[in-house]
Amino acid sequence: MLDSIEPSPRQDLDLKQISELNYIGGAPDTSALIKKEFIDFRVDEELGFPLSHDGEHLYLRIRKTGLSTVEVARRLAEASEASLSDIGYSGMKDKRGECTQWFSMPFSRTEEERLREIEDGFIEILDAERNSRKLRIGSHKKNRFEILLRQCQGRKFVFEERLDLIKASGVPNYFGSQRFGKDMSNLTQVMQLFRSEIEISASDRINVKARKKRSMLFSAARGYLFNQVLSERIQQKNWNQFVPGDVLNLAGTNRYFLVENGCWDDILQRRLDSFDIHISGPLAGVQDPREKYISNDMAARLEEAVLVKFQNLLCGLISFGLKTNRRPLRFVPENLKWNWLTPEELKLQFTLPRGAYATSLLRELCKISSFGNTGIEL
């Protein structure tokens, strides 16, 4: 049973921490502190579709402070006497921060009035609209960030040089440490699951909590493998350069395509340089025989040379039937701006596409400590 899987020591796993992955500008020798105050880390979610203003679902735009997304969902469920599974949200937002995001729930005028009772110093309902469908995971378009870095250590021009590099090159699209849990616990748990060859019982198949936990563990395994491939391509200095056999992504979409051998040209290179298209990397699993966009040639050999080192994770994902997918190797922050409030306080503003981690941008800038943690987080 999934609930019986407990975090265990790293045992024989040789897991690389996020800080051990390669950087585009080398490991930074600057440092800063984030999240000292909740308002130091602000996130504003932007939906990827218009609301119908009619229908069976109530959409709430909520500003939460010091609460996780799941904690807010649970309070909404309790206030409306709905099941937790009836509460929809598009993505998980940071607990230690001031985050605005959308939630959905079954519509009831009586419940809509009662929901105001949950407002306190940690939850504020900013907007309420009706819509025809429940809010699903991954349905938002972007996240806008405003982050204050405190106790900045290092020369000002070094910070700004690294920010200029981020603007010019984009950011490695690493999965952030949140994906893997504290001390990489999600990975040790998924390895325990794979080694034990646990069969999911009938009750677990319909148990929302069990399904979500299993999905979280599988996502951690795939994210870890993707990070290793991306890190290797940064090491080889081709993470943002085409090699034969690469699968390319059309920026801002889930559309992918291949370039026939010998057909890479100046037009495609300009599109790559201008961030119109991106190189992609593998989300490991079972290859669908109908899949058209599969890496080959040099790109496939590079990916396979990395993945073969992690046979336990790879075989586990395959045994549980996870389908392969692709993910861009880089993302480009929109409207990246910065402002020095004091010699030791730097405010950043930027917008990221869905699925991109702000912490992946921050790690390219400096070594980041998160308030409350004694060690380096990124």
Assess whether pLDDT exceeds 60 at residue 4: no
How high is the pLDDT of residue 52?
92
| Straight-line distance from the first to the last Cα atom of the chain, in angstroms, rounded to the nearest whole number | 33
Average pLDDT over residues 327-348: 98
Give the pLDDT confidence of 144-179 residue by residue, as tens digits: 999 999 999 999 999 999 999 999 999 999 999 989
Q: What is the largest CA-CA distance in the chain?
A: 65
Q: Reply yes or no on whether 266 is catalytic.
A: no
Q: How confident is the model at residue 378 (pLDDT cuts 50, 70, 90)?
A: very low
Q: Which residue is catalytic, options 94, 120, 204, 266?
A: 94
pTM: 0.90
Q: How confident is the model at residue 215 (pLDDT cuts 50, 70, 90)?
A: confident
Q: How confident is the model at residue 197 (pLDDT cuts 50, 70, 90)?
A: low
How high is the pLDDT of residue 203?
47
Average pLDDT over residues 312-318: 93
Average pLDDT over residues 67-85: 92
Mean of pLDDT over the chain: 89
The first and second tokens of residue 356, run together, are 């991109």
DSSP 117-153: GG-SSSEEEEEEEEESS---TT-EEEEEEEEEEEEEE
DSSP 272-329: HHTTSEEEEEEE-SBPPTT------HHHHHHHHHHHGGGHHHHHHHHHTTPBPEEEES
How high is the pLDDT of residue 226?
98
Give the pLDDT confidence of 271-281 residue by residue, as tens digits: 999 999 999 99
Q: How confident is the model at residue 206 (pLDDT cuts 50, 70, 90)?
A: very low
Burial (Cβ within 10 Å: 0-12, 13-18, ≥19) of residue 34: buried
Assess whether pLDDT exceeds 70 at residue 204: no
Domains of the chain: 2-17+171-331 (3.30.2340.10), 49-138 (3.30.2350.20)
Which residues pair with residue 221 across a beta bridge?
none
Cα separation of 138 and 327, whole Å? 14
Cα separation of 361 and 365, whole Å? 7
Average pLDDT over residues 194-221: 68
